Amino acid sequence: MLSAPERKVLKARAHKLEPVVIVGAKGLTAEVVKEIDAALKAHELIKVRAPTLDRGARDQAVEEILAKTNSQLVQQVGKVFVIYRKNDEAR
């Protein structure tokens, strides 16, 4: 679980990022989850955009992503969410 100060630092780092993965019309597929996992391994902190999902589907997709990638939600603003997973190898 991220502490409030950690979350604040991560939000600041994420501000300048562009979404690296976009959840398309087919929703959250295994390929999308695999891409998110690879992006987290490479970058630790990523933005994901889900422009075609309604609010309920988006919330469900976020929970599924977090569970399948063992990551943490930093922030969700509308259709964009910021996800973090510590990667000791990246440092």
pLDDT in tens, 9-46: 999 999 999 999 999 989 999 999 999 999 999 999 99
Percent of the chain with pLDDT over 90: 92
| Architecture of the CATH domain 4-86 | 2-Layer Sandwich (3.30)
Using the predicted structure, report yes or no on whether residue 91 has a pLDDT greater than 80. Answer: no
Cα 46 from Cα 56, distance rounded (Å)? 22
Cα 46 from Cα 26, distance rounded (Å)? 21
Per-domain boundaries in the chain = 4-86
Distances (CA, A) of 36 to 3, 29, 57, 69, 87: 23, 11, 17, 8, 14
**Which residue shows structure tokens 């950690």?**
6
- Quote the pLDDT of residue 1: 87
Global pTM reads 0.91
- Quote the pLDDT of residue 87: 85
